[in-house]
Structure 1
C-alpha cells in the first residue's frame, strides 16, 4: 500500500464519519442534568481507574490494559516540586534521566536509552529528540504518561524501550485558576499562571497558561531561561460534537553545561598494559578515575556558547458521538521549531600533559515544519453476544527539516587546551552556520485496535499498524539526493484475566521497528540496512483493594538487527540488545494518614549480544555481554506524604544503581541515593511550601557523554520557597 493509499484511508474514514453523523442528526438527544462530583484523588503514579492516552486509543482504563503505564498528574508534579519534565518523569517506576548534550534531556528504562525512548506531545511523534525533548518547565502539563516497552503500534517507528507523552491542559466546564511562584538557590525563579472555564459565550470554554523559569545554574555560566504559553478554546457545537483548538508556544535559552572531565592518573588497555596518556574510551580502563572537587562549578565551554530554541505546537480536534455505538476523533496539527546552537562538546583530561583538551566545536541550525492529520473511528457494542470495542484509524504526517548537517567546522575553540583550573575559556571560531540539507520525512499509517471479552472475566486486547515511511534528503551544497522507504508492520496482543474484582492478571506480546539511526540522519552509507526489530514479552498484575494500588510487571525485550561490525570489519546487522527484569509500584495509606508511593525496578539482564565495534587501529572488538551506557540495573523510589491539619509534610528518597559510561564498560558511574523533603502550610486557598533537594549533598554523575570521559554532575543541596494560590 502506498502512502497515497494510506492517505485515502484517512479521507475515507472522514467521509464515513460524516455520513454516519448525518444519519444520526434525526435522533433526539436525551435531556439530562449534569452532576459534577469533585474530590481529592490520592496523588500517586499508580493510576488504575481511568484511561491512559499513551497505552491505548480505545479509551479503556489502565486496569484493563495489558501493559505498564505510569501517570504523573499535575497535582503530583506540584506535590513533589518537580520543576522540569525530566524531574517529573524520574518519579515513574524505573525511569532515569540526564542531560548529556548541552540542553537535551535523555531517558533510560528497561535496559534501553536515548533514541529507544520516544518523547511525544499529546500523542504526536516528532522525528528528532531536538524537536520533542526540549528542556521544559512542568507547569503547563495536565499530566505526563510513561508507557513501558515497544510502542510502535500507537506511535510508529522507534519506541523500543518505551514512550513518554506530555499531555496538555484543556478547557474545563468549571472556572479554575492557579498562581504559582518560587525562589530558590542559584537565583532560580519560577512563576506560573493558569486559568480556565466558561468564557461567558454560550457553549464556549477556554484555557490559558503561562510560565517562566530563570536560573543562574550551579555551574558557572550555565544559566537558563524557559518561557512557555498555552491557550485553548473548546466549543460544544452540539450535544454530540465538540471542537477544540489548542496551541503551545515554547522558548528556551541555555548557556550549556556539557559536562565535567573525569580526572585519571593513567590508562590500562585491552592487553593489560598501563600507560600515561589520553584515554581511548573504546579500549581503555581508567586508573584512579575521579571528579576533582575544584572542577565541580567550572564550565569548560567557550564563552560565546548558546543553545536557543523556539517551538510551537497547534492542533484542531473534532470529537463527535456519531451514534450510541460510533465515535469519531479527528486531529489536525502543525508544529514548528527553530534552533540555533553553538558549543564545545568535548572536554577530556590528558594525564600526560596535565591539560583538558577541548574539541568538537559544533554549530546546529534547525528550521522544522511538521504538518499532519490523524483520524480515529471507534465502535462499541457486542460480538457474538459479548462486549467488544473496535477502533480503526489513519495518520498522515509530513515533517520538513532544514539543517546544517555535515557542515565542516574548525574542531576547537581558542585556546584548545586549558589547565584543570584557573584557565581562560576563550571563544569559539568565527564561523556561522550554513544551511546544507533539507530532509523530508513522510509517514502514512493505518492501524486497528480491539478489545473483546469472549467469556466473563477474560479480555483479549490487540492491535496492528501498517506504516509507509519515505525519507528524502536534498543537498544545498551539491551532494546527490538520497531517498529511502520502509513499510513496517507492528502490533500488540494481550490477554487480561480478572482474577477478582480487585485483581487483574495479564500477559502481552508487542513488536516495534526502528531505523539504524534517526530518520533525519540517514545517509547513503546506510541505504542497504533494514529496520531494527524490537519485541517484548510482558506478564504482570494490577490490583486495587482497600485504598492500595499495585502494579507488578516482568519483561523480556529483544532488539535485533542492530548495526555492528563483522569479523571482516564490514558493517552488518547481526547485533542484538536484550533486557530482562521486573518492576513493582505500590501506593497505599498507613494509619495516621501517611500516604506512601513507592516503586522499584530491577533489570537483571541488560546487555549486547553478537555486538562488535570496528576500532580505527585495533581491529574488531567484541562487546558481547556489555551493558549499554547510562542504564541502571536497579532503580527505586519512596515518597511519603503526611497531612496534619493545615500543614503538609513530604519526604522522598531515590536510589539509582551503578551504570556504565560507555559501550566499552571501562568506566563506571557510581550508584547514588538522594533525599528530598518539604513542609507546606495551607491558608484558605493559598499554600506556602519550603522544599529541600539532595539534602545529603550527594555528589554524583547523572549522565555520561558518548565517550564516557566527561560526565554531567547533578546539583548539590538546594532550597526553594514557593507559594501557590488556587481559586
Structure 2
C-alpha cells in the first residue's frame, strides 16, 4: 500500500481551496463548521483535534473527470489530508469529477458514489481507501462470490499531472511503463518544461540525460547520444518517423504544442531502423482536455526576450464528444551576442471527436514561422595555436543583412478504434510543407594570436529550400492470455516520403575581420541573388513493417521480441545538368529487437536487451562494381529499473555497449578504379567500426510530497579503429539535474527549484591542422527558478539560467569556425494565468 495523495502544496497551482469564503453563504458555513470543530478539539488529543478540524472545514473543488485515483488524490490535496491508496483498488476506474463545497468526508463520499469503495479516517487523522463491506444477505442466504478483474490503462499524458515522470510510454505503441521497457528511456514532461522555461526543442535536449550538442554547417546543429548523431530520421511525432526536418536548426520546433518528449537512448531499429545507433526522440502533441480551460503565459527576459502564449479549449458540444484545443505563441527576442534578432509566431489547433463509443478521430494543424535577422551560422574562429579567442561574449561575426526565414505548415490526423477491452487499432497521418531562405556572409579563418589577423569574410552564401514530407503509420496492438500468462502483441506498418528542393549559390568576397571591433556593415547588402550554382531535387522514400511481442514466460519473467523490415530509396538529381548526383537504396533490411525483463517484485526489475539499426552505403562501389553493404549499428545493455510510489518515481541504472560496424573505408589498392560510382571515383570496402561503452543512471518523478526531480549521469568512452574518440565534443562524464520543491505550510504559495548541467573537459585534433589540439575545460552551469501563486488563477515565476555567470563554449568547432559561447547569466520573469 502506498500513499497516493499529492499534497496540497503541489496541487493548489490549479485546484485550490482558497475559495472557502468566496461567497457570504459559504463563509458563514465554514465559520460555523470551524467553530464546532474547535469546541470538539478541546476533548481530543492534538493530532486528532487537527484531523477533526480539517474534516469539518468546507473544501471547494472544481475537479474535471479523470481516473478515480487521480480525483481522490487531488481532493485529498485540496483538503490538506493524507490519503493512502492501494492502486489495485482503483485500477481501471474513472471518476466524473467533483464540483462544489464539501467537507472532507462528504467529498470522498461524493467521488466514490456508485463505487464499492469507501474512505476511512484512522485515529491519527490519515485517510485510507478500502473495499466497502458487503451488505448482509437477506434470509441468511449467502450471496455468490463475484470476482472483477480490471487492468488500469495507464496514461502517458503529462499535461496537468504536475509530475516530472509518466506512468506509460507511447513511442513503442504498446501500453508499457518505463520499468517494463528494456532500454534507457527519458521523458521530459510538460511540468518540467514549464518549470525550467524550456520553449524550444534544443533547450529540452540540452537538459536531457546523455545529450551533447555538436556543430554542423550553416546553423544546422545536431545533438549526440552515446557518441552517435541524432539526425532527422531519429525524430518522430506522435510515433510517426520521417515527419521532422532539421528540428533543432533550420526549422526549430516550439514546445508550446507538445505534451512531452520521449527519448530512447541506444539503437532504435524497431522505431526508425535506418539511422545511427544513437536513439530516438518522440515529440507528443497536446490533445484536447475534458474540461474547459483558458491559459495565458507572458514572459520578459534578458536581452529583450519577449514571449506570449495562449492555450485554450475543452468540450465543444454538451455531450463532450467533440473537443478542441488552440495554442498560439509569439516570441520576439534579441540575444547576448550583437545584431541577431528573431521573431517566431506559432498557431496550433486540434479537434477530437468520439465518432462512436470506441472510435475516436483527431484532426490538427500547425503553422510556425521563424525569421532571424543577423543570422549567425559559423560562430567564432580560434587562435591558430588552438586557444579560444580572448573576446567579449557579445562578439558576433555577422553582417546586419544576414537573414534566415523558415515557414512550416503541418497537417495531421489519427483514427483510433478499440476493438474490445484488450485490442485497439490506430492509423496516424502527417503532411508537412516547409520553406527556407538563407543569405549570409560567411567568416572563416584562424586568428593569429600576435597580429589578430586571419579571419575573413570569404563568400556570400544563398540557400533556398523547399521541403514536403508525408508520413503514415498504422498499427494493431492488444493483449491475450495463454499458457498461464498475459501477453502483449503489436504489429504495424509505416511509410515516409520526403521531397527536398535545394538551391545554393556562392559569391566570392575577401573582406578582413577585426575580431575586437567587427564591422557589421563591411559588405554591401546584396540586392539580387546570383544564379544558382547548385539546384537539386531529392526524394527520400522509406517503408517498413514491424512487430513486437511482450511474452510472459513466467510470473516474474517477460521476453520481448520484435523486428522491422525496411525498404529505403534516396535519389538526388541536378536540375542544371539533369544528372543523378546521389542514388542509394536498401531492400528488406531486417533490424531485430530482443529483451528480457525479470521482476524482482512489483517495484523493481532487472533487464537486458539487444537492438540494431542500419545505414545504407549503396552509393559507394566495390572494385567489382557491387554496391557497398550497409553499416550496421547495435546496442547491448543491461540494467535495473524501479517504479516507486505507485509510479510517481522512476529510477534506472544501466551499462551499455554500442557499435557501428561495416562502415565505408577507401580501398587504397583501388584508388580511382570506380569511375561509375556517384559517391567517389575511388573504390570502397566495408571495414571501419566505431565503438562506445559506458554507464548511465537516472531518476525522475516525485522524491517526496511536492518535491520533483529529473537527474541523470552518463559515463562514456568512445573510440574508432585508431583508438581516437568518435565524438570529440562528447565528455567522459556528463550530469544533467533539475528539481523543484513546493514549500510546506504557510509558505505553500512558493516553490523553489534549480538545476545543474555539468561535464568534464575534452579535446580533439583540429580538422584544419591535426597537429593542433582544440580543447574545452570542464564546467558546471547552475540554474535557479522560483514561483509564487498570487491567487487561484495567477502565478508568477522567475528563472535564472547560468546563475554564477560561467564563461564557457557551448559548442566547439575547428580553428577557422564553429565555436559558440554559452549563454551568460539571464533572467526571465513569467506570469501565468489559468482559468
SS, match of residue 175 in structure 2 = coil
SS at match of 1:75: helix
1:129-278 equivalence runs, <5 A: 129-130=245-246, 134-200=251-317, 202=319, 203-254=321-372, 255-264=374-383, 266-267=384-385
5+ residue gaps, structure 1: 1-31, 268-285, 610-622
Taking structure 1 as reference, are residues 374 and 705 closer, same or farther at Cα in structure 2, changes over 3 Å only?
Answer: same
Matches of 1:433 and 1:679, distance apart in 2: 54
Q: Please name the residue that 1:57 is paired with.
A: 173
Q: Which has the larger radius of gyration?
A: 2
- Deviations 1:301-341 (CA, angstroms, capped at 9, x unpaired): 23321111111221111100123443110112211111111
Indicate the residue corresponding to 1:703 in structure 2. Answer: 811
The CA deviation string for residues 575-627 of structure 1, in whole angstroms up to 9 with x for no partner, is 22110011111247667955443321111x11212xxxxxxxxxxxxx54234
**Partner of 1:290 in structure 2?**
388
Normalising by structure 1, what TM-score? 0.83
Q: Is the 8 A contact 1:601 1:634 kept in 2?
A: yes
| Relative contact order, higher structure (CA 8 A, sep 6+) | 1
Partner SS state of residue 303, structure 2: coil
- TM-score, with structure 2 as normaliser: 0.73
Residue of structure 2 in register with 1:74 after alignment: 190
C-alpha root-mean-square deviation of aligned residues, in Å? 2.9
| Contact 1:120–1:132 (CA under 8 A) maintained in structure 2 | no
Equivalent residue runs for 1:482-521 within 5 Å: 483-487=583-587, 488-515=589-616
1:101-159, Cα deviation, whole Å (9 max, x unpaired)? 45434212212235398223223333875367532332221111111011121123114
SS at match of 1:389: strand
Q: Distance in 1 between matches of 2:181 and 2:396?
A: 46
Provide closer, same or farther for how the CA distance between residues 418 and 652 of structure 1 changes in structure 2, counting only shifts above 3 A.
same
Matches within 5 A, 1:580-595: 580-587=693-700, 594-595=707-708
Partner Cα separation in structure 1 for residue 315 and residue 200 of structure 2: 29
Q: Indicate conservation of the 8 Å contact 1:262/1:349, yes or no.
A: yes
CA offsets per residue over residues 655-677 of structure 1, 9 Å max, x none?
Answer: 02223465758211222211111
Q: Does the CA-based 8 Å contact 1:150-1:162 persist in structure 2?
A: yes
Residue aligning to 2:95: 35
Q: Paired residue for 2:430?
A: 333
In structure 2, how many angstroms separate the alpha carbons of the residues matched to 1:118 and 1:676? 29
* In the alignment, structure 1 residue 126 sits paired with structure 2 residue 248: no
CA deviations 1:615-657 (Å, max 9, x no partner) are xxxxxxxx54234232122111232323221011112221022
**What is the aligned partner in structure 1 of residue 718 from structure 2?**
606
**Structure 2, unpaired ranges of 5+:** 1-91, 99-158, 672-681
Q: Is the 8 A contact 2:505 2:530 kept in 1?
A: no
- Judged with a 3 Å threshold, the aligned counterparts in structure 2 of structure 1 residues 639 and 213 are, in CA distance, closer, same or farther, namely same
- 2:781 maps to what in 1? 674
1:588–1:123 Cα change, 3 Å:
closer
Q: For 1:559-574, what aligned pairs fall within 5 Å after superposition?
A: 559-565=660-666, 567-568=668-669, 570=682, 571-574=684-687
Out of 94, 98, 111, the residue aligned to residue 210 of structure 2 is 94
1:355 matched residue in structure 2: 454
Cα deviation for residue 230 of structure 1 reads: 0.9
Are the counterparts in 1 of residues 802 and 825 from structure 2 also a CA contact under 8 Å?
A: yes
In structure 1, distance between residues paired with 2:763 and 2:777: 9
For residues 509 and 306 of structure 1, the distance between their equivalents in structure 2, rounded to whole angstroms, comes to 45
Aligned to 1:557: 658
Q: Take 2:182 and 2:337, find their aligned partners in 1: how far apart are those partners?
A: 44
1:689 Cα shift? Answer: 1.0
Quick one: distance in 1 between partners of 2:825 and 2:365? 36
Residue 728 of structure 2: aligned partner:
629
C-alpha distance in 2 between matches for 1:57 and 1:590: 28
- C-alpha separation between the residues in 1 aligned to 2:818 and 2:809? 9
Offset at 1:297?
A: 1.4
Partner-residue secondary structure (3-state), 1:349: coil
Alpha-carbon spacing, 1:142–1:103, altered in 2? closer, same or farther (3 Å):
farther
- C-alpha separation between the residues in 2 aligned to 1:78 and 1:423? 37
Q: 2-side partners of 1:344 and 1:576: how far apart?
A: 38
* Equivalent-residue separation in structure 2 for 1:606 and 1:35 (angstroms): 51
Deviations 1:169-200 (A, max 9, x none): 11122223311110011000011010121012
CA contact 2:258–2:284 (8 Å) conserved in 1: yes
CA–CA distance in 2 between the matches of 1:318 and 1:102? 39
Q: Secondary structure at the match of 2:246?
A: helix
CA contact (8 A) 1:171 1:233 kept: yes
Aligned length: 648
1:456 aligned to which of 555, 562, 570: 555
Alignment-derived partner of residue 688 in structure 1: 796
CA contact (8 A) 2:231 2:275 kept: yes
* Aligned counterparts of 1:432 and 1:504: Cα–Cα separation in 2: 62
Secondary structure (helix, strand or coil) at the match of 1:63 reads: coil
Structure 1 pair 524–713 and aligned structure 2 pair: CA distance change class (3 A)? farther
Work out the CA distance in 1 between the residues paired with 2:705 and 2:422. Answer: 46
Contact kept? 1:653, 1:675, Cα under 8 Å: yes
1:276 is matched with none
